[in-house]
Amino acid sequence: MFPADSTTLALLPLIAGLLVMTVRFYAREAAISIFSLSFMLATLAVAMLIGYMVLNVIGMLPPYAWVVFGGIGTAMTVGGIWSFYR
């Protein structure tokens, strides 16, 4: 089990997902539209990171929230990388 102080390490996949979606938006989609899936997912990742930080600061972060944030970040990272090669 993760100690409470190291749960922010679970944000690394979410940050990686944000970077992958941003690179995909500029490289593959040529930054054509803000309504593209890559841009929307990158915006969602930023909103989730801000939400995590706010919940952590005000002390309302559930004990196993890192599982959700890390899982979504991992899915975004893997999906973004996979979409480059299809």
Contact by Cβ (8 Å): 38, 21 = yes
- Give me the residue label for tokens 């991992």: 74
Q: How far is CA 20 from CA 24, 35, 56, 67, 77, in A?
A: 6, 17, 25, 20, 6
Given pLDDT bands bounded at 50, 70 and 90, which one contains residue 3? low
Q: Is the pLDDT of residue 53 over 80?
A: yes
Q: What is the mean pLDDT of residues 34-47?
A: 80
Contact by Cβ (8 Å): 20, 80 = yes
Sequence spans of domains, the chain: 7-84
Q: What is the mean pLDDT of residues 36-58?
A: 83
Given pLDDT bands bounded at 50, 70 and 90, which one contains residue 71? confident
Q: How far apart are CA 2 and CA 64, in angstroms?
A: 9
Q: Is the pLDDT of residue 51 over 80?
A: yes
Q: What is the mean pLDDT of residues 42-60?
A: 85
